[in-house]
C-alpha cells in the first residue's frame, strides 16, 4: 500500500492485484457495498465504458453528477470533470482513478493570468468552456460545453460583449456560428490541435464516400473540411443517423467504441495526426485503467476535493449553464 506521499507522486494507488480476480465482478460488488456510481466520459478505455453506469459527454456527465443519489461518484474522466461533479454534489465523495488525469486545455489557462485578462474587459460577460479548473469557473459568469456553447452565447442579448475561454478553436467556431464577436483566450487542446489537413485530404481521396466528422476543439483549417461538427454526443448521433458507411473521425479515439457498438456494420477511421504518434489518444484520459478504477473504489482515494469558497462561486456559472440547457431541452 502506498503512503500518501507516494500516492501524490504517482497519482494512483499502486497495490498488487490478485491476478485471479474478475475485476468486472469485483467492481460491481464494491459499487453495491459503497453505494457508488461510475460516470465515464466517451474518451475512456472500452473496458471502463463497458462497466460504467453512465457514459456521456461533459454536459451529460455534469447533469448526471447533479442528480445522482449515490454516496460515492467514481469519475472515469479527467480532473476538471471530477471537480465539476464535486461542485454540483459537494456532500458526495468524488474519486478519480488517477489523480494525474489532467487536461492540457485546462492547463493552458492559469486562473491568475485569466483574472488579469478579464480586468481588461470590465463590461464583458465571461463564458468559460467546462474544460477548465474550478478556480477559473469561479471567475466566470456562465459555463458551457461543446454541446451547448452556441445556445449559451445566443441566450445573451446581441449587444452583450463576451469573453470566451479557454479554447480558442471552440470559441472561433462559436463566433462563426453565432455571428458574435467574442474576445478569445488563447488556449487549446493538444489532442484536437494535432490533426493534419494534408493527411485527412489524402485519406478522403482513398475513401471518397466517407463522411468527415470533427469536434469543434479542432483547428479552423480542419473544421473547414468537415461534413459535420459537434460534441462527442453530436458526433455519435450523426454516425447513427447518417446513411454513410464510413466515417473519418477527428476527435479522441475513445468515442469510436460507442460508434462501433451503435453501428456494427459501419466503419470508423480515426483522423490521422500530423506525425506518427498515437496522438488522438488523450494521454490524460488514458491514465485511468480498469485496475486503477478498482483500486480507487476499494481504497476510497484518490479523492477530488474543492475548497468551499470556490465551490460557492463556481457553482453559480455551472448552475446557469444547466438551467439554460434544461430550458432548451439539451
Binding site for ligand 13P (CB under 6 A): 42, 57-58, 131, 145-147, 189, 217, 231-232
User: Closest separation between CB of residue 314 and ligand SF4, Å?
Assistant: 18
Closer to ligand SF4 by Cβ: residue 105 or 229: 105
CA distances to 78, 147, 198, 219, 224 from 251, rounded to whole Å, are 16, 14, 17, 11, 15
Q: Residues binding ligand SF4: what is the number (CB under 6 A)?
A: 12
* 285 touches ligand SF4 (CB under 6 A): yes
* Three-class SS state of 87: helix
Q: Give min distance, CB of 102 to ligand SF4, in A.
A: 8
- Decide: 165 and 129 in contact? Cβ < 8 Å: yes
96 binds ligand SF4 (CB under 6 A): no
189 contributes a contact to ligand SF4 by CB under 6 A: yes
Nearer to ligand SF4, 38 or 285 (CB): 285
For ligand 13P, the closer of residues 13 and 94 by Cβ is 94
Q: Min. distance of Cβ 15 from ligand 13P in angstroms?
A: 28
284 scored as a contact of ligand SF4 (CB under 6 A): yes
Give yes or no for residue 190 binding ligand SF4 (CB under 6 A).
yes
The SS3 of residue 128 is strand
Question: What is the x/- site pattern for ligand SF4, positions 236-265, by CB under 6 A?
Answer: ----------------x-------------
- In which order are the strands placed within the sheet that holds 54-56? 54-56, 36-41, 72-76, 93-95
Partner touching 280 among ligand 13P, ligand SF4, none, CB below 5 to 8 Å by kind: none
Compare residues 101 and 142 and give the one whose CB is closer to ligand SF4. 101
Residue 174: contacted member of ligand 13P, ligand SF4, none (CB under 5 to 8 Å, by partner type): none
163, 118 in Cβ contact below 8 A? yes
Q: What is the DSSP string of 152-189?
A: HHHTS-TT--EEEESBHHHHHHHHHHHT--EEEP-B--
How are strands ordered across the β-sheet holding 246-250? Answer: 228-229, 211-214, 246-250, 267-270
Residue of 38, 40, 59, 78 interacting with ligand SF4 (CB under 6 A): 78
Residue 91 burial (10 A CB sphere; 0-12, 13-18, 19+): exposed
Q: Tell me which residue of 38, 39, 40, 41 sits closest to 232, measured CA to CA.
A: 41
- Partner in contact with 284, chosen from ligand SF4, ligand 13P, none, beta carbon below 5 to 8 Å by kind: ligand SF4
Q: Give the helix ranges, DSSP H, for the chain.
A: 4-10, 23-34, 46-51, 58-67, 79-88, 104-107, 111-119, 134-138, 149-154, 168-178, 197-206, 220-223, 232-241, 255-262, 290-299, 308-327
Stretches 3-11, 21-29, 98-106, 315-323: which one binds ligand SF4 (CB under 6 A)?
98-106
> Residue 66 corresponds to which cell in the numbers above?
447533479
C-alpha cell read off for 33: 457495498
Nearer to ligand SF4, 284 or 294 (CB): 284
Q: Which does 128 bind (CB under 5 to 8 A by kind): ligand SF4, ligand 13P, none?
A: none
* Joined grid coordinates for residue 212: 468527415
Q: Check if the beta carbon of residue 306 is closer than 8 Å to that of residue 87.
A: yes
Q: Given candidates 44, 62, 89, 131, which one binds ligand SF4 under the rule CB under 6 A?
A: 131
What is the nearest approach in angstroms of ligand SF4 to the Cβ of residue 101? 8
CB of 147 to ligand 13P, least distance (A): 6
**Interface residue list for ligand SF4 (CB under 6 A):** 78, 103-105, 131, 189-191, 252, 282, 284-285
Amino acid at each position: 500500500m502506498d503512503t500518501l506521499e507516494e500516492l501524490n507522486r504517482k497519482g494512483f494507488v499502486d497495490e498488487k492485484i490478485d491476478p485471479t480476480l474478475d475485476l468486472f465482478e469485483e467492481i460491481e460488488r464494491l459499487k453495491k457495498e459503497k453505494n457508488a456510481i461510475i460516470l465515464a466520459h466517451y474518451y475512456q478505455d472500452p473496458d471502463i465504458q463497458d462497466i460504467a453506469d453512465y457514459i456521456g459527454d461533459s454536459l451529460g456527465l455534469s447533469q448526471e453528477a447533479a442528480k445522482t443519489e449515490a454516496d460515492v461518484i467514481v469519475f472515469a474522466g479527467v480532473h476538471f470533470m471530477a471537480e465539476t461533479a464535486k461542485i454540483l454534489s459537494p456532500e458526495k465523495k468524488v474519486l478519480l482513478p488517477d489523480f494525474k488525469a489532467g487536461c492540457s486545455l485546462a492547463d493552458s489557462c492559469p486562473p491568475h493570468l485569466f483574472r488579469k485578462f478579464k480586468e481588461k474587459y470590465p463590461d464583458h460577460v465571461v463564458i468559460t468552456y467546462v474544460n477548465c479548473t474550478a478556480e477559473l469557473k469561479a471567475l466566470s459568469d456562465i459555463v458551457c460545453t461543446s454541446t451547448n456553447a452556441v445556445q449559451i452565447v445566443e441566450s445573451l442579448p446581441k449587444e452583450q460583449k463576451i469573453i470566451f475561454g479557454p479554447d480558442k478553436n471552440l470559441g472561433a467556431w462559436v463566433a462563426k456560428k453565432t455571428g458574435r464577436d467574442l474576445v478569445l483566450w488563447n488556449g487549446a487542446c493538444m489532442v484536437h490541435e494535432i490533426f493534419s489537413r494534408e493527411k485527412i485530404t489524402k485519406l478522403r481521396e482513398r475513401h471518397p464516400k466517407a463522411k468527415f466528422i470533427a469536434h469543434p476543439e479542432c483547428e479552423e483549417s480542419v473544421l473547414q473540411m468537415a461534413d459535420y461538427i459537434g460534441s462527442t454526443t453530436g458526433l455519435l448521433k450523426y454516425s447513427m443517423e447518417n446513411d454513410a458507411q464510413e466515417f473519418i473521425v477527428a476527435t479522441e479515439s475513445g468515442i469510436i467504441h460507442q460508434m462501433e457498438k451503435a453501428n456494427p456494420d459501419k466503419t470508423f477511421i480515426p483522423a490521422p495526426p500530423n506525425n506518427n504518434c498515437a496522438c488522438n489518444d488523450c494521454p490524460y484520459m488514458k491514465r485511468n485503467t480498469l485496475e486503477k478504477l478498482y483500486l480507487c473504489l476499494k481504497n476510497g482515494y484518490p479523492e477530488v476535493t474543492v475548497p468551499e469558497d470556490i465551490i460557492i462561486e463556481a457553482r453559480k456559472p455551472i448552475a446557469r449553464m444547466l438551467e439554460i440547457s434544461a430550458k432548451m431541452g439539451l
